[in-house]
Amino acid sequence: MCDRRRTTLFASVIALFFSILFAPPISSQQSAPSQTATLPPDLSGVWARHPGKGPARNFLADYKAPEPPMSPATEAEFKAIKSSYAGPNGYLNDLVFSCYPPGVPRIYSVDLQGTLEIIQTPSRVLLLYEYDHYVRQVYTDGRPHQLDLPSTWMGDSIGKWEGDTLVVDTVGFNDKTRLDKMGHPHSEALHVVERIQRVDHDHLQIGITIDDPKAYTKPWGGQLDFTYEPDWHLEEFACQDNHTFDEFREKSTAGPNK
């Protein structure tokens, strides 16, 4: 009886061994495609906005565009700013010429090329701007805004993927920056949403929505277009207080650094 039990047990073990050995790896084969399908597109690289090249629109420097819908107080403030910009040296009243942080979205239009590098990781996207080497960290790990922080020049950014588009949500600004080269002001209620999409290998689009209910009667914004520059790298572009306009223009209009 004991030998029979041993024989039966041995046969069961052998059968179990062969069933495991030859069983198809269902779980691993089925999980791999779903993991690949959820990977976001790659935005990495150096990108530059070239004036006059293709559809390179720049609503942040369009002096002929219709004015955004301002509240009466904001309109009065803007008129005062615009008046201060008049005259041969009036441009120096633009706060970026005193090396204050430019804010968002003005950071995209301080220099003519708007050069930036995007570095992408699984939990965040880094936006590195050539101008004064400003860095914005866009966390994509699901964390909320840090609303307990004091107001900042560049705001607090978080992001999420909507298909092939990175949606960047930024709040927590102070009211000291200007939104564009024309000098449009804003309040601390400013809320900026950027939709960053790589439309093909060589082209990037950033749609920008400006929402500030204290300063503007409805949201407004526009689109910026960038070209991929695989042979470029970011150079030092340090802001120096009281630098001359010619020095600034020379750097802004320089050709490929690269």
| Tens of each residue's pLDDT in the chain, 258 residues | 445 454 454 455 455 444 544 555 544 444 444 444 578 899 999 999 876 444 456 899 998 899 999 999 999 999 999 999 998 888 888 999 889 999 999 999 998 788 999 999 999 999 999 999 999 999 999 999 988 888 999 999 999 999 999 999 999 999 999 999 999 999 999 999 999 999 999 999 999 999 999 999 999 999 999 999 999 999 988 887 655 445 544 544 454 454
pTM to 2 decimals?
A: 0.78
Q: Are 122 and 74 in contact (CB under 8 A)?
A: no
pLDDT reported for residue 158: 97
- Within its chain, how far is the Cα of 127 from the centroid? 6
- pLDDT the model gives residue 242: 52
Whole-angstrom distance, CA of residue 207 vs CA of residue 167: 9
Q: For the beta carbon of residue 256, count every other beta carbon within 10 angstroms.
A: 9
- What is the number of helices (H) and of strands (E) in the chain? 4, 9
Please enumerate in sequence order all residues whose Cβ is within 8 A of that of 213, keeping only pairs 6 or more positions apart, or say none: 189
Q: Which pLDDT score is estimated for 229?
A: 95
pLDDT at 212: 98
* β partners of residue 209: 193, 221
Task: Tell me if residue 206 falls in helix, strand or coil.
Answer: strand
Domain range summary for the chain, segments of one domain joined by +? 2-37, 45-252
Element (H, E) at 129: strand 124-129
